[in-house]
Amino acid sequence: MTLDGGTPGNAWAAFERVHDARADLVVLLAGFRAGLLSAVVGAAGTAEELAARAGTDPRLTAEWCRAMTVAGFLDVDATGHRFAALPGLDEVLEVAGVDSPVDIESALLDRTPAVVAALAAALRDGEGADPAVYGDGWARLQDAAALASDPGAVVTALLAPVAGVVEALEAGCRVIEVGCGGGWALEVLAERYPEASFVGLEIDPVALGIARGRLARFGDRCVVGPEAPAGERPDVVLLVDVLHDLPRPAADLARLLADAAPGAVLVVAEADATGDFSLDRTSGAAWQYASGFTRCLPLVRRAGGEGAGPLWGRTAVLRTLADAGVHEVAVHTTADGHAVFAARV
Ligand SMILES: C[S@@+](CC[C@H](N)C(=O)[O-])C[C@H]1O[C@@H](n2cnc3c(N)ncnc32)[C@H](O)[C@@H]1O
């Protein structure tokens, strides 16, 4: 048997690979929480100097520096005593204007035993997982991933090819985004189209908090909450990576569209997948099977749905739209791996 990186006949290689990845993360996070990571990113130094700067124990600090060097995070000079951050370690600590990768990973690691237990229970009883079990790491990671991927370009790729949407936004239409996450798309839109107004719906309290903070500067022109304000009649209904997360996608979408203005435009973006596992498992979107199993499906199941999963694919999305009464759907794809389904409703 061999896994990538393992040698046939060398069973220890598989243990070593998994063990080393976890051990390196433990070392990184311990130094992060103790303030050593900031100290060495701030300036190179000997273990004694770094310990003095961070207020840590010199002997353990020396061993931390050695382990971090072997793990590929630090470099050491020819004397073997002076340690420096390798290029890019500052961004492990903080990506300017986005978030801290190591702080998010720390939050995810804290919740990992509870998430694993919840997923094991979900596998046995099929009842999904409590949203609270995930802590704040997941919503922060999702927001950081969006922010770090040029949100302005993503919004353009999603909306520019949809007939009539840019003109409507310029003229000052009302937009509702369902499942707006941390509000990155709404921020781009509210900045770009000052005549338009926006409502973001979000049920995750962590994502909602991020969105509220980010969008507060737009005042009443851009509001977010778990439910739409009464009487809201949007001209554009937007769902980005959300339709598969609704418990009853067709019925839930039909209910949302019942409140839309006549002739409103629906835009649904989902991962560009075929829905055929034998093809999608080797696609660029394949990593989403893990996030689908770990988060999307357990949450949908807890909300009473069957669980489409993020890679349910074009045919299933088009069938769902038809079941919601949406026909004559135009489809385009984006460079970041989305299939975008647009129609007048
Ligand atoms: C995969 S995330 C996508 C978030 C965001 N649109 C983005 O692209 O970053 C799906 C989001 O939909 C939210 N969501 C799921 N069901 C919802 C519902 N019924 N109403 C509002 N938001 C919902 C989740 O909390 C989550 O933030």
**Cβ contact 342:159 at 8 Å:** no
- What the block records as the tokens of 121 is 């229970």
pLDDT the model gives residue 284? 93
Q: Identify which of 182, 173, 344, 171 has the alpha carbon closest to the alpha carbon of residue 267.
A: 344
The residue whose CB lies within 8 Å of the most ligand 1 atoms, and thus the one to mutate among 242, 256, 295, 299, is 242
Radius of gyration for the alpha carbons in the chain, expressed in angstroms and rounded: 23
Which protein residue has the closest C-alpha to ligand 1 atom 24? 179
Neighbouring-strand partners of residue 268: 239, 341
Query: What residues contact 308, with CB distance under 8 A and at least 6 apart?
Result: 243, 244, 249, 300, 316, 320
Query: Which CATH entry fits the domain spanning 12-93: 1.20.1250.20, 3.30.479.30, 1.10.10.10, 3.40.50.12780?
Result: 1.10.10.10
pLDDT the model gives residue 10? 78
- Is residue 243 within 6 Å of ligand 1 at its C-beta? no
- Is residue 177 within 6 Å of ligand 1 at its C-beta? no
pLDDT digits (tens, 9 = 90+) for 95-113: 998 999 999 999 999 999 9
Region 287-303 average pLDDT: 96
Q: Dump the DSSP string for 119-136.
A: HHHHHHH-----GGGGTT
pLDDT the model gives residue 1? 47
**Cβ contact 134:111 at 8 Å:** yes
Grade residue 7 by pLDDT with cuts at 50, 70 and 90: low
**Cβ contact 273:311 at 8 Å:** yes
Angle between helices 101-125 and 12-34 in degrees, nearest 10? 130
Residue 9 reports pLDDT greater than 70: no
Residue 161 reports pLDDT greater than 60: yes
pLDDT the model gives residue 14? 82
Query: Of 19 and 151, which is predicted with more confidence?
Result: 151
Q: How far is Cα 134 from Cα 291, in angstroms, rounded to an integer?
A: 12
pLDDT over 70, % of the chain? 97
CA distances from 4 to 1, 8, 14, 190 (A): 10, 10, 9, 46
What is the separation, in whole angstroms, between the first and last Cα of the chain? 54
Grade residue 8 by pLDDT with cuts at 50, 70 and 90: low
Query: Of 5 and 181, which is predicted with more confidence?
Result: 181
**Residue length of the chain:** 345
What one-character DSSP code corresponds to residue 289? H
How many whole angstroms from 182 Cα to the centroid of ligand 1?
Answer: 9
Region 86-92 average pLDDT: 95
Q: Where in the chain is the domain with CATH 3.40.50.150?
A: 133-344
- Is residue 297 within 6 Å of ligand 1 at its C-beta? no
pLDDT the model gives residue 78? 96
SS3 343: strand
- Is residue 309 within 6 Å of ligand 1 at its C-beta? no
Q: Identify which of 339, 296, 334, 283 has the alpha carbon closest to the alpha carbon of residue 314.
A: 339
Q: Where in the chain is the domain with CATH 1.10.10.10?
A: 12-93
How many whole angstroms from 244 Cα to the centroid of ligand 1?
Answer: 9
pLDDT the model gives residue 270? 98
CA distances from 152 to 33, 57, 211, 295 (A): 34, 46, 16, 27
pLDDT digits (tens, 9 = 90+) for 251-282: 999 999 999 999 999 999 999 999 999 999 99
Region 218-222 average pLDDT: 97
Backbone torsions φ then ψ of 194, nearest 5 degrees: -65, -20
Please give the mean pLDDT across all residues of the chain: 95
Q: How far is Cα 126 from Cα 135, in angstroms, rounded to an integer?
A: 21
pLDDT over 90, % of the chain? 92
pLDDT digits (tens, 9 = 90+) for 198-219: 999 999 999 999 999 999 999 9
How many whole angstroms from 159 Cα to the centroid of ligand 1?
Answer: 18
Say how many C-beta atoms besides its own lie within 10 A of residue 64's C-beta: 26
Region 313-320 average pLDDT: 98
Q: Identify which of 268, 270, 273 has the alpha carbon closest to the alpha carbon of residue 256.
A: 268
Backbone torsions φ then ψ of 30, nearest 5 degrees: -65, -45
How many whole angstroms from 270 Cα to the centroid of ligand 1?
Answer: 12
CATH T-level fold of 133-344? Rossmann fold (3.40.50)
- Is residue 146 within 6 Å of ligand 1 at its C-beta? yes
pLDDT the model gives residue 185? 98
Region 282-304 average pLDDT: 96
